[in-house]
Structure 1
Amino acid sequence: MFSKSKINEPAQDTAKPSPAPATPQSSAPAQSDHRPSAPKAKPPASVLSSDLHITGNLKTTGDIQVEGTVEGDIRAHLLTIGESATIKGEVTADDVVINGRIVGRVRGLKVRLTSTARVEGDIIHKTIAIESGAHFEGSVQRQDDPLNPGRAAKPGSNPASAQAAPQGKPAAAGQSAD
């Protein structure tokens, strides 16, 4: 009987086991909690199609894939310039992948010019990759913080020049290939 009283105590806790069936119901709200977490997952890139012409600036914390023409500045997390795309303005992103044409300055932590890239302007980067066949006219400058133009450029310009000297040679080689 003593054990029955223990059962009675859990019977009082039986109100708690009814939340135990509520726990599976709680998992359903937990799934609902996971659904709001799902929007926290990275949304797909915004795609600007090849027949789209935009005049104006674009700014997002997400990703953009440009296939059309943009006359203005672009700021994004990941920016992919398609082969048919043309950008006339400054491009700033954490990651920049250039397959098409940019006329203007490029700022990025990681910048990649593919073999189909055509860039007419300066590139300010932390890391850069230029594939064989890419067309580039301008200067290349390494900075630890290329996304902040004013402050990092002045103090970093002297050390960046010393660090950019080895990269200046490949840029010169890239320019001689033009």
Structure 2
Amino acid sequence: MASRGNNSTFSVIGSDVVIKGDISASADLHVDGTVEGDIKCASLVQGETSVVSGGIEAQSARLAGKVVGSIRARELVVLKSARIEGDVQYDALTIEQGAHVEGRFAHSRPNQGQAKAPAAAGDKPGSPDKPELTLAG
């Protein structure tokens, strides 16, 4: 782990590493290897050759490899090399053209158990109650 100036840490799982088990980290995580288990961390960056077989939960995630499992992230970027098999829950979502996802997308809502009035035609995009979707070219 290398320490950054703001006392946070960054951990790397190399391309030759296979982890069988869940990972929970308060640090930012970069995964190039294989993880057979769930990942829970602050920020996840997944390399193109990486395979994650399990759920992912992160504040922010940038996915470029293969994921077989559900994903829950506040800010999610799915790159064109990504292959996802599972449901995706997000607050803000960016998908590059060419990315492959087999599953359902659901916008996270702070009060999912409560009924909400339908959106008015004049609501502004990008408001806190609106899902954000960006397509990258």
| TM-score, structure 2 as length reference | 0.78
Q: Distance in 1 between matches of 2:78 and 2:6?
A: 30
Q: Distance in 2 between matches of 1:132 and 1:165?
A: 19
What corresponds to 1:59 in structure 2?
24
Matched, 1:136 2:95: no
Q: Distance in 1 between matches of 2:39 and 2:7?
A: 23
Matched, 1:80 2:45: yes
Structure 1 residues 114-145: Cα deviation after superposition (integer angstroms, max 9, x where no partner): 11111100000111111101011100000134
- 1:41–1:68 CA distance, 2 compared to 1 (3 A): same
Q: Distance in 2 between matches of 1:99 and 1:123?
A: 15
Contact 1:141 1:164 in 2 (8 A): no
Structure 1 residues 68-99: Cα deviation after superposition (integer angstroms, max 9, x where no partner): 10000000000011100000000000001001
Structure 1 residues 137-171: Cα deviation after superposition (integer angstroms, max 9, x where no partner): 100000134xxxxxx55x16x65xx888996xx9x
Q: More helix per residue: 1 or 2?
A: 1
What corresponds to 1:42 in structure 2?
8
| 1:136 partner SS | strand
C-alpha RMSD over aligned residues: 2.7
Which of residues 75, 80, 85 in structure 2 aligns to 1:110?
75
Contact 1:109 1:127 in 2 (8 A): yes
Q: Distance in 2 between matches of 1:120 and 1:129?
A: 17
Q: Distance in 2 between matches of 1:52 and 1:42?
A: 23
Q: Distance in 2 between matches of 1:77 and 1:165?
A: 21
Q: Distance in 2 between matches of 1:94 and 1:68?
A: 21
Identity %, equivalent residues: 31
Contact 1:78 1:94 in 2 (8 A): yes
Q: More strand per residue: 1 or 2?
A: 2
Q: Which runs of 5+ in 2 are unaligned?
A: 120-128
- 1:95–1:166 CA distance, 2 compared to 1 (3 A): closer
Q: Which runs of 5+ in 1 are unaligned?
A: 1-37, 146-151, 171-178
Contact 2:92 2:132 in 1 (8 A): no
